[in-house]
Structure 1
Amino acid sequence: MQILKEVVDLDTVTGKMRCYIYRPNREGAFPAIIFYSEIFQQTSPISRSAAMMASHGLVVIVPEIFHELNPMGTVLAYDDEGKDKGNDDKLCKPLIDHDSDTVALIDFIQSATYCSGKAGAMGVCIGGHLAYRAALNPNIKAAFCLYATDIHSNTLTAEASQQSLARMSDIKGEIHFVWGKQDPHVPKEGRLAIYQKCLETGINYHWIEVNAVHAFMRDEGDRFDGALAIQMYQQAVALFQRVLS
């Protein structure tokens, strides 16, 4: 279906957060997903991914994940300067600030007339981690996490008890993990640590490992695997349509 695009600035505990909304161009109230970006924020590939998901009957909200640290509208380039800035932002922002952002996003989803009130989360790279992190909130009923970084390593800013891996048992919805076997950012040992925690906690999870490098969903640059990307979009849409409809 055709979609509309708009911008909404939400109040959060740590300041205004710009969000990019992609939603069906028709009457009705639709399930919503929070789409968390890479460290580069809303780049063209992220925008195209959001549009792809929205065209399947979902309201897709892309927040500026580092809104406290950059002027509104900041998009970092896929180069060394952008990577260094994004990685610095990632380490500077505490996980609890991402949690409060999620609360603001859920409040919006539950009040917007074009949203049904049912919410999920999806993300790539650090955004995969943030989709996982969002699933700690019981209002997030499903999460689709693509090559989620830093869960296994406990390297983001938080007390030990608040690290994402330690809190896995708080996830009450359904969560899908997708990993690239050739991804150096989440090596085999890291994936194994997360998998063992899934078994230990007994959460409702789905596990996918594919032969791919990091950022294989990004349709810009030489890492892109279009065939795998199509499969992942189909699986994500199937998850959200089943759980959130």
Structure 2
Amino acid sequence: MLIEESYKDVATKDGGSMRIFTWHPTVPNYPKAKFPGVVVFSEIYQVTGPVARFAKQIAGQGYIVAAPSSYHEFTGPEPLAYDGHGTDKGNDWKVAKKLAAYDEDAELSVSLLLDLETCNGRIGATGMCLGGHLAFRCALDKRVSAAVCYFATDIHSQTLGAGKNDDSLARAKDIKGELVMIFGKKDNHVPPEGRDLIRKTLHESGICFSFFEAAWAQHAFIRDEMSKGRYDPGLTKICFEILLELFNRTLRSDLGPRVGGEQEIEDPFPGRNRFNSPDLDTSEDESNWAHLNFDIGQEL
């Protein structure tokens, strides 16, 4: 699908302005076509080339995308460099910015999309690294129907924003939409116990969510530039399909309000265990498998 790129500078409560980059799908001869909206939150480097390409991919699937410049209190909308200096600045500003200011950015971005005549009124959110956490917080907004959070940092440690004492996990019950959390098992920014805490809290909060952990993925594995050897194109494609499945189902379809509690899953073999049932002869199965020999070699 064709897309048009633009931006809008919106006023913020601190008296400044924030630039929101937008990518809008277009269908020739259909000027009044309506599309869902998606807010894309960037990593600590603001809207870089990889973030913009990610946003364009989403827009090309028929979504109006808005990407805010997260550090507008400290600098212009230009991206930071993927180097030591840029990393230091991004990390410093991440914990210098007030939590309420992050939430204001999300609110303004959602409102910008909803104010468009071409928006169908349904909003999703996504982002990576810092942006994954911001997408999680954006989902606290009841106007957001779905969010996909890529390797979201600082949720488990509650260290986002000034004072390093965020309430993202504590407010998880406020999330009304559906969540997808994506991590790599080799992610040293969000350790196993941190991922376990997030998953446990979401379960206990009654959130509708999916949780994916890729066996060999490291932090920032979807970034196709300056990723220090961590970029995995195949896995990135799979994760993008997960994103599209969620957004297509929740933002394109009009499902109406959610009703009822948990779905009761019927057991197809009540009272029977596949390999321990007295009524089931497994000798043939065992003989069929006995000749197989699996050799996966050594771990490299």
TM bin (shorter chain): over 0.9
Segments of 5+ residues of structure 2 without an aligned counterpart are 253-300
Q: Give the match for residue 137 of structure 1.
A: 141
> Structure 1 residue 68: deviation in Å?
1.1
- What CA distance in whole angstroms lies between the structure 2 residues aligned with 1:115 and 1:227? 31
Asked if residue 46 in structure 1 is aligned to residue 51 in structure 2, the reply is: yes
Q: Secondary structure at the match of 1:190?
A: helix
TM-score by length of 1: 0.96
1:117 to 121, 140, 143: 121
Of residues 64, 67, 70, the one that matches 1:59 is 64
- Counterpart CA distance in 2 for 1:33 and 1:95 is 21
Provide Cα deviations, 1:51-78, integer angstroms capped at 9, x if missing partner. 111100001111101111112x221011
CA offset digits 1:68-125 (Å, max 9, x no partner): 1112x22101111000000001001122111111221222112112211211100000
Write the distance in 2 (CA, Å) between the matches of 1:92 and 1:159.
Answer: 8
Q: Residues 125 and 160 (structure 1 numbering): CA distance in 2 closer, same or farther, change over 3 Å?
A: closer
* 1:24 aligned residue: 25
Distance 1:183 1:161 in 2: 22
Please give the secondary structure, in 2, of the residue aligned with 1:191: helix
> Given residue 214 of structure 1, which amino acid in structure 2 is its aligned partner?
H
Q: Counterpart of 2:170?
A: 166
Tell me the residue number matched to 1:216: 221
- The aligned residue for residue 36 of structure 1 is 41
From the CA coordinates, give the structure whose radius of gyration is larger: 2
Offset, 1:158 = 6.2
In structure 1, the residue matched to 2:278 is none
How far apart, in 2, do the equivalents of 1:158 and 1:141 lie? 28
Higher helix share: 1
| Identity score, percent | 42
Secondary structure at the counterpart of residue 165 of structure 1: coil
Aligned-pair Cα RMSD in Å: 1.4
1:13 aligns with 2:17: no
Shift of 1:8: 1.0
* CA offset digits 1:12-33 (Å, max 9, x no partner): 2233110111111223111000
Q: 1:121 to 1:145 in 2, by over 3 A?
A: same
Equivalent of 2:181 in 172, 177, 183: 177
Query: Is residue 13–residue 101 contact of structure 1 (8 Å, CA) maintained in 2?
Result: no
Tell me, in whole angstroms, the C-alpha distance in 2 between the residues paired with 1:142 and 1:132: 10
Considering fraction of residues, name the structure with more strand: 1
Unaligned runs of at least 5 residues, structure 1: none
Aligned to 1:198: 202
Question: Are residues 4 and 242 of structure 1, via their aligned partners in 2, closer, same or farther at CA, if it must alter by over 3 Å?
Answer: same
Q: What amino acid does structure 1 have at the position aligned with 2:239?
A: M
Partners of 1:161 and 1:167 within 8 A in 2: no
Count of matched residue pairs: 244
Q: TM-score, normalised by structure 2?
A: 0.79
Residue 11 of structure 2 aligns with an amino acid whose one-letter code is D
Moved more, 47-56 or 7-16: 7-16
**Higher relative CO (CA 8 A, sep ≥ 6), structure 1 or 2?**
1
How far apart, in 1, do the equivalents of 2:130 and 2:96 lie?
13
